[in-house]
Chain A
Amino acid sequence: MSNYETVIGMECHAELLTESKMFCACANEFGGAPNTRTCPVCLGLPGSLPVMNKLAVELVLRTALALNCQVSRDCLFARKNYFYPDIPKGYQISQYDDPIGHSGYLDITLEDGSSKRVHIRRVHLEEDTGKLIHAGGNESEVDYNRSGVPLMEIVTEFPPDLHSAEEARAYLEKLRTILVYLNVSDGKMEEGHLRAEPNLSIRPVGSDKFGVKTEIKNLNSFKSVFKGVQYEVERQSALLDEGGVIRQETLGWNDLRGETYHMRFKEEEQEYRYFPEPDLVPLHFEDADIEAARAALPELPDAKRERFVTQYGVRPYDAAVLTSSRPTADYYEAAATDGVDPKAIANYVTGELARLINASNQEISQIKITPAALRDLIVLRDSGKITNGVAKTVLEKMFETGQSAQEIVEAEGLAAVDDEGAIAAEVDKVIAANPDVVAKILAGNDKSMAFLTGQVMRATKGKARPDVVNRLLAERIK
């Protein structure tokens, strides 16, 4: 048991799903040959001026509301001044005082089922920088394609609510789910569209003073966030145990080695000389703007989860899985229509279907089985037309070919065998072939009955209805 308490703050950046950049008409896209999506504005050429992308503001407002934030009625943009080759104007247009959203929270659910409220300090809009490419030797090149892409920053409140790698990962997962739900970000961490920078410190349990914090960059997956935090907690603990001193620094994360590495010390507060951006007019939100944005919010995961439990009677755990992504939830609801057991649909969507989707590396939105086709399969099974075992086989075929359950059952003769005479013949054969098992059953070993059932099912290729098989076996043996 550790003697230290971990304290984690999270700063996340999400590139927004706008068509154009934040201050110019250049396309907001990923990749492309360097410097092909640039203009005088995002290159910071002399005389150029920024013009605000209204959609970017809307997306941040939407996020702020979804994260239960207060909205600043009047927001200023500010210049954050510093020199670096990837920042073309010598300042980044960001927000300082009065961010669009502040004082919000996000509820997360942990693995043990408990939930936790994580307070959000601010949600603001800023522009992304270009990218420095080290060309080898003493030379660097700069690609400004990403320069001016609208970026949303979400920062957790201080003192932080997060205290473990698991909590940090759960927060990030939940945040990503919401951003994708809101259609604000595609949430792609591996492409850097969602970036998480945890800063963390440890302190002796019971202490009321915070330790020196370090910040981890380059974490490009949930797993690396979890491992990075875990690694850093262990590194700091070991260092303190040895009587060492933690220095305030920025660390990088090496995913291959599973280690953090030193990037730079950060002991002196950076001097950014923030001041209001004179090239932009202040943003003003009327109450009506805010209420309209709130009304336009989609149903968020938590509300959807609760509704699934009450409306469909699914278990809370399944409801959480179903609502973990909006396409999955939408798929489920399209399948779980009247006349079918919604719990049965839930079992398939979270079970067999999820397994097939994962194994094939697809998204639910890409698969060949429509929600209606899944529903038909379940109806077919629940009406006894096919057995449960056959249904799973049919699902795999549907997944491969996109054919309907009915087509597959007919083409392959997979309908359940209702003919008692035919089943009875197989039952008699199995009894005759297994006298020792029958003897065990007669001696009171009921478990052996299942063996015989299995033998009959195998002989009928799974098509015999298990209830009929069981009844016939019981009648003959007892």
Chain B
Amino acid sequence: MELFELTAHELSEKIQSKEISAREVTQSVLDRVESVEPRVMSYVTVTRDQALAQADVVDAKIAAGETVSPAAGIPLALKDNLCTIGVETTCSSKILRGFHPPYDATVVEKLKSAGSVFVGKANLDEFAMGSSTENSALFPTHNPWNLDYVPGGSSGGSTASVAAGEAVWSLGSDTGGSIRQPAAYCGVVGLKPTYGRVSRYGLIAFASSLDQIGPITKDVRDAALLLGAISGHDPMDSTSIVRDVPDYTKALTGDVKGLRIGVPKEYFAQGVEGVIADAVRAAVDKLVSLGAIAEEVSLPHSEYALPTYYILAPAEASSNLARYDGVRFGHRTARATSHIDLFEKTREEGFGPEVKQRIMLGTYALSAGYYDAFYLKAQQVRTLIKQDFDKVFEKYDVILSPTAPTVAFPIGQKTGDPLAMKLSDVLTIPANMAGIPAISLPCGFADGLPIGLQIMAPAFGEEVLLRAAHAYEQATDWHTRRASL
């Protein structure tokens, strides 16, 4: 096996025991980028020199006998909606072209001090709005398992980079499934933490009450490691929660005896392909064979999650994206004749069609006369969705479902059918609505494309979530398969 194919925990062990150097690992990944990037197109920016310099710092520390964190020397891709000092941060939008943030996102700062090696900034659907990375205003990313297929989205660059060996692990952001759905499509592990577990400071906002940064990795142990490295209260983010960060790897006991699994019938309904439902049911059976108890449960309001999401997320986005006005940073029109004209033309030129559509949807939902019927009603439904989960979690430790109703689809297939595109997030959105943690991990293949198993847990139940995911993973070999490129 090549170094770029290994997991972070495997590489970390080798680096710390001086079997290999961080530079060798980084070089292996950079070489891989060189060879496959023209086909996969995961990255908006590759920070090659910075990566090698960071690797050298780690090697010097190890040579000096210092103890380093498990993230030290491990090449990582950052979704390009995470602010990085001095490195262009685009959100894959023309409106942010040339924006070099004067500060690092808190997660970036944490990983920098942990000795992380930053390979580059990964492609996404513009402002994280989309499910295929085709909405990137720069270029689409390709699925490493089949280059004619989408990697999913919006963190498609982050998941494709890990699946293609262009990064050992990566960070994505998840507003309605943007980590989990592309993780499922690319056959990697993607974890959306509990809302408030990870600081959002420096994550360019899409929908503030739903956004959460999370790890994308090759296996569950790596997810536990990377989650531990980025979690914790941040005084710069009022919505981050004051709560100790456990050693998540301690949860990986392999023991699921007596674990109570709820299997929501609504998540296997119409629209979920048979092959996916079968793979997930087989995963449930596997956990039962390991000692877990599984029962069918109901989350009746989840069917309203998608329309609710398409009120609330655009409403917040319409306000979050108001700052892109050409005054202080990013794109500015050359054709303005007044300040209103400056705003209008800058935004008209800078935003892509999906972003514009969502801004309009959100503006409408917040307007006087519509607010009660849309925004307020959607907030009420959101509460009902959350209450469904609370009720199920009174009796069950975790909930299992498919991550997405289908496997990855061909590039271009759904770009003309926005509803079909949005339906690919129908099973992931409820966890964002409820603010609970959810993970996607590989549980099979259909026509050579990966299938994702989703596990959800109560708020701050990351440990039980990881324990269940890890036990399943150890009993199967899906996570060991690599896309051949």
Which residues of A are at the interface with B, using a C-beta cutoff of 8 A?
A: 40, 43-52, 79, 81, 83-85, 88-91, 138, 140, 142, 269, 271, 273-275, 278-281
Interface residue? B340 (CB, 8 A): yes
Q: Would you call A46 and B238 a contact (CB within 8 A)?
A: no
A/B interface sample: 10 pairs, CB < 8 A = A44-B328, A47-B203, A81-B318, A83-B325, A84-B339, A90-B322, A273-B319, A273-B366, A279-B205, A281-B238
Interface residue? B169 (CB, 8 A): no
Interface residue? B478 (CB, 8 A): no
Complex Cα gap A40–B104 (Å): 11
A residues in contact with B86, CB < 8 Å: none
Given A46-B96, A81-B322, A81-B366: A275 and B238 interface contact (C-beta under 8 Å): no
Given A83-B343, A280-B238: A40 and B323 interface contact (C-beta under 8 Å): no
A residues in contact with B203, CB < 8 Å: 47
Give min CB distance, B347 to chain A, whole Å: 9
Q: Would you call A40 and B102 a contact (CB within 8 A)?
A: yes
Complex Cα gap A84–B338 (Å): 11
Q: Would you call A278 and B208 a contact (CB within 8 A)?
A: yes
Q: Would you call B83 and A47 a contact (CB within 8 A)?
A: yes
Residues 195-251 (chain B) with a chain A CB within 8 angstroms: 200-205, 207-209, 235-239
Q: Would you call A47 and B105 a contact (CB within 8 A)?
A: yes
Query: What class of interface size applies to chain B in its complex with A?
Result: 35 or more
Q: Would you call A279 and B238 a contact (CB within 8 A)?
A: yes
Give min CB distance, B87 to chain A, whole Å: 13
Summed over the interface, the residue pairs from A and B with CB atoms below 8 Å come to a total of 108
Q: Which residue of A83, A84, A142, A275 is within 8 Å of B366 (Cβ)?
A: A275
Interface residue? B189 (CB, 8 A): no
Complex Cα gap A50–B235 (Å): 10
Complex Cα gap A281–B318 (Å): 20
Q: Would you call B238 and A52 a contact (CB within 8 A)?
A: yes
Q: Would you call A85 and B105 a contact (CB within 8 A)?
A: no
A residues in contact with B367, CB < 8 Å: 271, 273
A residues in contact with B366, CB < 8 Å: 81, 273-275
B residues in contact with A138, CB < 8 Å: 337
Give min CB distance, A55 to chain B, whole Å: 16
Give min CB distance, B85 to chain A, whole Å: 11
Q: Would you call B322 and A48 a contact (CB within 8 A)?
A: no
Give min CB distance, B166 to chain A, whole Å: 24
Q: Which residue of A84, A140, A278 is within 8 Å of B209 (Cβ)?
A: A278
Give min CB distance, A272 to chain B, whole Å: 9
Q: Would you call B323 and A90 a contact (CB within 8 A)?
A: yes
Q: Would you call B325 and A90 a contact (CB within 8 A)?
A: yes
Give min CB distance, A102 to chain B, whole Å: 21
Complex Cα gap A40–B204 (Å): 12
Q: Would you call A275 and B319 a contact (CB within 8 A)?
A: yes
Q: Would you call A45 and B368 a contact (CB within 8 A)?
A: no
Q: Which residue of A49, A79, A85 is within 8 Å of B325 (Cβ)?
A: A85
Residues 346-392 (chain B) with a chain A CB within 8 angstroms: 363, 366-368, 371, 375
B residues in contact with A51, CB < 8 Å: 235-238
Interface residue? B315 (CB, 8 A): yes
B residues in contact with A83, CB < 8 Å: 322, 325, 340, 343
Give min CB distance, A76 to chain B, whole Å: 12
B residues in contact with A269, CB < 8 Å: 368
Give min CB distance, B459 to chain A, whole Å: 15
Q: Which residue of B202, B340, B342 is within 8 Å of A47 (Cβ)?
A: B202
Q: Would you call A85 and B339 a contact (CB within 8 A)?
A: yes
A residues in contact with B204, CB < 8 Å: 46-47
Complex Cα gap A281–B233 (Å): 14
A residues in contact with B56, CB < 8 Å: none
A residues in contact with B337, CB < 8 Å: 138
Complex Cα gap A273–B322 (Å): 12
Give min CB distance, A26 to chain B, whole Å: 14
Given A91-B319, A278-B208: A49 and B201 interface contact (C-beta under 8 Å): yes
Q: Would you call A49 and B238 a contact (CB within 8 A)?
A: yes
Given A83-B340, A271-B367: A45 and B102 interface contact (C-beta under 8 Å): yes
Q: Would you call B343 and A281 a contact (CB within 8 A)?
A: no
Give min CB distance, A182 to chain B, whole Å: 26
Find the B residue at minimum CB distance from A142.
B327
Complex Cα gap A50–B103 (Å): 15
Complex Cα gap A415–B378 (Å): 86
Q: Which 9 A-B pairs give the minimum distances between C-beta atoms?
A: A90-B322, A278-B208, A273-B366, A278-B209, A46-B204, A47-B202, A47-B83, A47-B204, A44-B323
Interface residue? B264 (CB, 8 A): no
